[in-house]
Each structure stands twice: as C-alpha cells, then as structure tokens.
Amino acid sequence: MQSILKKSRRIIVKVGSSLVTNQGRGLDHAALACWAAQISRLKQMGKEIVLVSSGAVAEGMQRLNWGKRPTALYELQAAAAVGQMGVAQAYASCFSQYELQTAQVLLTHEDLSDRKRYLNARSTLTTLLKLNIIPIINENDTVAIEEIRFGDNDTLAALVTNLVEADVLVILTDQAGLFTSDPRKNQQAKLIDEVSASDPKIEKMAGSIGSSIGRGGMLSKVVAAKRAARSGAHTIIASGHEKDVLIRLAQGESIGTRLLARIPVLAARKQWLADYLQMRGQVTLDNGAAKALLEDGKSLLPIGVTNVSGDFERGEAVACLDLQGREVARGLINYSAFETQKIMRKASREIETILGYVDEPELIHRNNLVLL
C-alpha cells in the first residue's frame, strides 16, 4: 500500500502548528514557502489539494507583540482574528510564486453538523477545486467558543476529508508517525508502517503523544483517521520535517504510518446513504427518470419528478419512487420540498427563472444517490 498517495486524486493535507510557526512565535515563512513548493508539484501531477493549516493565534500574538499565549477566550479570539490576516497573506504570496491562487475558508464544527451549512461548504470547496484554486482551511477561532479551547485541526481535517470525499488525508506533524508507544519515553518503541484505521489498539498506542505547540496530539490524529475511514478515505501520519515529504509520498515512497480504511470511498458513502439516514420525504419519478437512474447511472433532474410528498429541506434524504410506488433509490436532495414542487416537470435551465436562483442543475446528483 505504499502507493496510497500516488493513486489518489483528491488529497487533504493538514500541517500542524509546529510545522508552520517558529515554535509558536508567529509564522515560519520559509516553511510555508516549502509547503507551497511541494503542493505545486502535486498539482502538476494532477492532484487536487485542500490544505488545512494552523498558525492564526501564533501569528496574531506576534503582530500584537504578546509574548505569552493568553488564556482569556476573547483575547484568543482577538489574536486569531489578527493572525488570520497574516496566514492568508503569507500563503497567497507563497503560492503566487507558482501562479496558483488560494482561498481562505474558515469553518467551525457547527458548520459541518448543520446539513444546510454542510452542503454550502461542500459546494464552495468543490467549486474552488474545479477552478484550480487551493482552499486553505482553518478552524474559525474568531467566533468559535468551545472549539478554541478543545478543538484541533486534526478533527477538522477529517471532517473536510469526508465533506469533499477525498481519497486520502495526510496529517503532517513533528513525529515520524504512530509508534507502539511514546518514542520520547520508550526507546524500544517501534514505528508502525501500516494498520487498519479501525483497529481498537491504535488509540491506546497513541496515548498522549503530542507536540508542545499543537493542541491535538497523536491521539487526535488516530481519531481523525477513524473519522476519515468512515467515508472510505485512508490516512497517512508522517513527519513534516522529512525533506519533500509530500512529493515523495506522491511518488510512492513509504513514509510514516498508513491507517487504512476498510471500504472504498464510493462504497462507504453509498452505505451511509442507504442505511443510516432517515428519509424526510418522497419524490415520484416518471418512467424516463426511473430508467435514467436505474439503467443509465444518471442524476435525477427536476423534469423527471411527477409528485412530491413530505416536508424536507435542502440536503435531507428523500426516497425516490417509481410510478408503481416502489422505492428505487434514495439520496440527498438539493432543493426543499416547497422548491421541488415549483420546479418539478421543468427543465433545469428554468430553475433560476422559477426560483430566482439556482443551487444545482440536478435535483439529486448521482454522487449523492444510492440505488435500491
């Protein structure tokens, strides 16, 4: 499995605080330039990259001339607000050397737990990737309350991995990978090359192994790998101090620890759609639409819907029935019940005229649809 990254197209790269700051004293611009150089090489290999990066609070502290990290929540939020300006400017400058544009995306866990906001975030990120822009994501510490105290970007990176259906999550840290025990305390500790992300023993191995700068620690990285595996994504935990680590991983070199998902991305998402979501409504399809779904692997378009029942919102799960009342598919719908009733039996090009806006041309995209 050395070629996980080599075979992957969409990759989430998370760089920890210790890799982007000068031991907590503001941003390390030379390090950021190094990440930009490596990611530009990955782009040349045909990879889509989303970067999850820390550093806002540390940069804000430097800009405010604060020598000690504050404990008051409002001061941490202020530091994050000031520091985000520096993070965005620094990355934009570094990537511009390779004629690559960046976009700053600030998220909280609440954004990804609310279905509407989840879909909006997903649409934004996938659009940025289509435009060949590199999204740079950080937790929105400016407004987050609980997250700024207990959150970590490992968890955020895993949630983003699931959000955009990435193939692999690469967590770069100041450790070589996952060891059988803390290598700083036990010289007999051995680096684990490969393990199942669902193996219950790995959390015990991770223990409290962590960095003096970051909030996450090795345990949060293992938990993040488990989260990513739920949607079929593999995880690599490796040292960001390894020279050209991303390029070497993309070339098939074995570095760090590979935490493998049991099922492929598509199968995991289809299982989730089929088994774990409560149906919020139903749409009835004409024979042509049913055939397009069942035989042709197409998305569901508004023109193929003859009836709508239930009170569902955008992003909720609905059942797709044929004219005989049999459930033939289920999926996540892009429009509410009220909106669907307005646009059913209409061509997709008419959506904007009818609703005044258009989110997606499909009622349910085939990637968010499972056949039964």
* 176 and 80 within one domain: yes
- Which of 208, 235, 266 is at the close of a domain? 266
Q: Are residues 123 and 258 in the same domain?
A: yes
The domain tally of the chain equals 2
Residue 91 in domain: yes
User: Which DSSP symbol is given to 329?
Assistant: E
Alpha-carbon gap, residue 272 to 65, rounded angstroms: 48
Q: 177: how many CB neighbours lie within 10 A of its CB?
A: 21
- Mean residue pLDDT across the chain: 88
Q: Which residues contact 2 (CB under 8 A, 6 or more apart)?
A: 252, 253, 254
239 and 311 belong to one structural domain: no
23 & 100 share domain = yes
Q: Is the pLDDT of residue 86 over 60?
A: yes
Residues 353 and 224 in one domain: no
Give the H or E element holding residue 307. Answer: strand 305-310
Mean pLDDT of 46-69: 91
pLDDT digits (tens, 9 = 90+) for 286-313: 999 999 999 999 999 999 999 999 999 9
Global pTM value: 0.79
**pLDDT, position 144:** 61
- Does residue 284 share a domain with residue 262? no
Q: Pick the range with the lowest mean pLDDT from 65-74, 209-218, 286-295, 322-331.
A: 209-218
- Which residues is 257 bridged to in the sheet? 237
Picking from 238, 266, 294, the residue at the C-terminal end of a domain is 266
Same domain, 78 and 168: yes
The domain containing residue 54 runs over which residues? 4-266
Residue 343 lies in a domain: yes
Taking residues 187-191, what's their average pLDDT? Answer: 84
Q: Are residues 289 and 180 in the same domain?
A: no
Q: How far apart are CA 315 and CA 331, in angstroms?
A: 9
CATH number for the domain harbouring residue 337: 2.30.130.10
- Residue 271 maps to a domain: no
Distance, CA of 359 to CA of 222 (rounded, Å): 36
Q: Is residue 272 part of a domain?
A: no
From 266, 287, 302, give the residue that closes a domain: 266
Q: Indicate if 225 and 287 belong to the same structural domain.
A: no
Q: Is a pLDDT exceeding 70 seen at residue 215?
A: no
pLDDT score, position 302: 98
Rg, C-alpha atoms of the chain: 22
Tokens of 69: 């990290």
- Inter-axis angle of helices 217-229 and 153-163, to 10 degrees? 10
